[in-house]
Chains A and B, each alone.
Chain A
Amino acid sequence: MPETYPKIKPQWVQWSIIVGSVLILEALSRGGLIRRTILVPPTEMVYTLAGFIVANQVTPHFIRTMVETFSSFAIAATFGIGIGIFFWKFIRIGKMFEPYIVSIYAMPLVLFYPLLLIFLGLGSPPIIFITTITSIIPIILNTTIGFREIGEVLHKVAKSNRCTPWQTFSKVLFPAATPFIFTGLKLGFIYALIVTIGMEFILTDLGLGFQVHQYYDFFNSPAMYAYIVLNLLIAVLANALLFRGEGAVRRERA
């Protein structure tokens, strides 16, 4: 059926929803329809956040969160791609372990935090541990799928050109699997960021997630929302960059 409604750019609708929601929240909170203890006006959230940034209050927390996120992601990416390739190369072992890997997805790992406290203590180590486990799963699965999906003909091209095993891997198979690997890395990074911030609520005394939790305990709504806004901005920025990167990789091959 032909589209009869006027053509509007999807981006306009997306931005309108965001701007509209912010304006509604601003009006509701400024008009006193929502209590300040529940919601502060968005402009005040941004103003408070700006104040924190100027006073250099955010930096140590930001650094801690980023260090935890990136170190977890780096470990997950290194081992995830390696394990994914191993599962592709040794199909039987891969099939054997796949059910375990997939079931970790459904497991609320946060429940293990009392154990982690005992074994790893408070601070970054238990956060990096849980974040790595969560982040590594999509990387392993996507890497394995990426290599399994490579057409037989590319193997034949490599063989007929008398490529060494390393040349076959580095010049043909790995680049061919890249779109899948990239999708795994994108999901892995997003999970790493979400889990790090979430775990900082309970397992540490520094970090952006911890700040939200702390200001919540102090009933300091403007400060709590300021950090929520910052967390959202980081997540949206990371997501946008990763989607853009993934789009570029896929467009080249479309």
Chain B
Amino acid sequence: MKDKTCLSLWQVAMTYNLRAPDGTVTDLEAIREVTHELRMGEFVTIIGPSGCGKSTLLEVIAGLRKASGGEVYIWDQRITGPHPSIGMVFQEESTFPWRTVMENVEFGLEVRGVPKKERQKTCQRIIEIVGLHGFENSHPNALSGGMKQRVAIARALATDPEIMLMDEPFGALDQQTRLFIGQELLRIWEETGKTILFVTHDINEAVYLSDRVLVMSHRPSVVKAVVEVDIPRPRDTSTITLERFHELTSALWETLRVESEKALGITKTEVHI
């Protein structure tokens, strides 16, 4: 099953038309070309310097944004808008504060017209998978940041998508919480068998979670390197102490450092000073 390609990106490009206050329009080429394939059940992470278009790429795949070039396919279906086989988790806090945890998780099934009893049964199972049992009737304001993101993950999982797109979902959490919620995510992934495409800034998180890491270059971005993570699974928080983990994070940083310097406008001389 793992050999089956479920998501294909073919020469995906994105150029923005920026309008200046004086009315002149300039083109900003955010993504030059991304071509890649994800197989079923894989955990793939995209990493890259700030502003390289990682989130944009995810939004193109999710059908929330139209690419200016190239094509995205799920199985053999071309993506032209939001697809039922894709669930998305966002970086920002996206739970609905007026709904309870259960009602939040039910949202996707509710708008699809699934009867209440049926969707509650499904959502109860998902809530248990993400470890929020006992909080079904709580509102998000009663939950921690990590728990709120688990609600968002549960909401995306509830519609049973083939592919989960996760745009820096733990970006707002502290390092320790990230590590533990990352472990939770691996457990959820192993339990559900979903294909996950994950965006992060954090090299450690990328290596710890993924089967493969795509390193994107500075704007206009391309896939600069693909790093296969050969650390055996199951992984847990002790994985970060392995020598292989450090080798991989160092290799990734070497690739990423040059691109980050370009993004920040830092030259070698400046670094040495």
- Expressed in whole angstroms, the minimum distance between the Cβ of B273 and any Cβ of chain A is 39
| Interchain CB contact under 8 A, B96 and A153 | no
Residue of B nearest to A152 (CB): B92
Between A156, A163, A178, A254, the greatest number of chain B beta carbons within 10 A of the residue's beta carbon is seen for: A156
Flag whether A3 is at the interface (Cβ < 8 A).
no
Alpha-carbon distance between A163 and B113 when the two chains are bound, in angstroms: 11
A162 at the interface (CB under 8 A from B): yes
- Residue among A160, A162, A172 with max Cβ neighbours from chain B (10 Å): A160
Q: Of A159, A160, A164, A172, which contacts B96 at CB under 8 A? A: A172
Q: Which of A151, A160, A253 contacts B98 (CB 8 A)?
A: A253
Q: Which residues of A contact B82 (CB under 8 A)?
A: 159-162
The 7 closest A-B CB pairs, nearest first, are A253-B97, A153-B92, A160-B88, A153-B94, A175-B98, A162-B82, A161-B108
Assess whether A35 is interfacial by the CB under 8 Å rule. Answer: no
Q: Is the CB of A161 within 8 A of B159?
A: yes
Chain A contacts for B111, CB-based, 8 A: 161-164, 167, 171
Residues of B within 8 A of A172 (CB): 96
Q: Check A171–B107 contact: CB distance below 8 A.
A: yes
Chain A residue with Cβ nearest B140 = A253
**In the complex, are the beta carbons of A252 and B141 less than 8 A apart?**
yes
Nearest residue (CB) in A for B161 is A160
For residue B110, CB closer than 8 A to chain A, the reply is yes
Q: A157: CB under 8 A from chain B?
A: yes
Q: Is the CB of A157 within 8 A of B84?
A: no
* B98/A252 in contact, CB under 8 A: yes
Query: How many B residues touch A, CB cutoff 8 Å?
Result: 27
Q: Which of chain B's residues have a CB closer than 8 A to the CB of A151?
A: 92, 94
Query: Does A53 make an interface contact (CB < 8 A)?
Result: no
CB-defined A-B contacts under 8 Å, sample of 15: A153-B94, A156-B88, A157-B94, A157-B155, A159-B64, A160-B62, A160-B87, A161-B107, A161-B108, A161-B111, A162-B112, A171-B107, A175-B96, A252-B97, A252-B139
Does B90 reach chain A (CB closer than 8 Å)? yes
Which B residues are within 8 Å of any A CB, using their own CB?
Answer: 59, 62-64, 81-82, 84, 86-88, 90, 92-94, 96-99, 107-108, 110-112, 139, 141, 155, 159
User: Which residues 136-172 in A have Cβ within 8 Å of B in the complex?
Assistant: 151, 153-154, 156-157, 159-164, 167, 171-172
Question: Which B residues are in CB contact (< 8 Å) with A171?
Answer: 107, 110-111
Sort chain A's interface into a size bin: 20 to 34
A252 to B137, CA, bound (A): 12
Which residues of the partner chain A approach B93 to less than 8 Å between Cβ atoms?
Answer: 153
Kindly report which residue of chain B lies nearest to residue A161, judged by CB atoms.
B108
Minimum CB–CB distance from A253 to chain B (whole Å) comes to 4
A165 to chain B, nearest CB (A): 12
Contact call A253/B64, Cβ cutoff below 8 A:
no
Give 6 new A-B contacts, CB below 8 A, not counting A164-B111, A171-B111: A156-B90, A157-B90, A159-B64, A175-B96, A175-B99, A253-B141
Set of chain A residues within 8 Å of B139, measured between Cβ atoms: 252-253
Kindly list chain B residues whose C-beta atoms are within 8 Å of the C-beta of A178.
Answer: 98
| Closest partner residue, chain B, to A155 (CB atom) | B64
Establish whether residues A156 and B110, one from each chain, have CB atoms under 8 Å apart when the complex forms: no
Which residues from A are CB-within-8-Å of B108? 161
Tell me the complex Cα distance, A175–B110, Å.
Answer: 16
| Complex CA–CA separation, A176 to B64 (angstroms) | 20
Q: Which residues of B contact A157 (CB under 8 A)?
A: 90, 94, 107, 155
A178 to B98 CA separation, bound complex (whole angstroms): 9
* Chain B residues whose C-beta falls within 8 Å of the C-beta of A253 in the assembled complex: 97-98, 139, 141
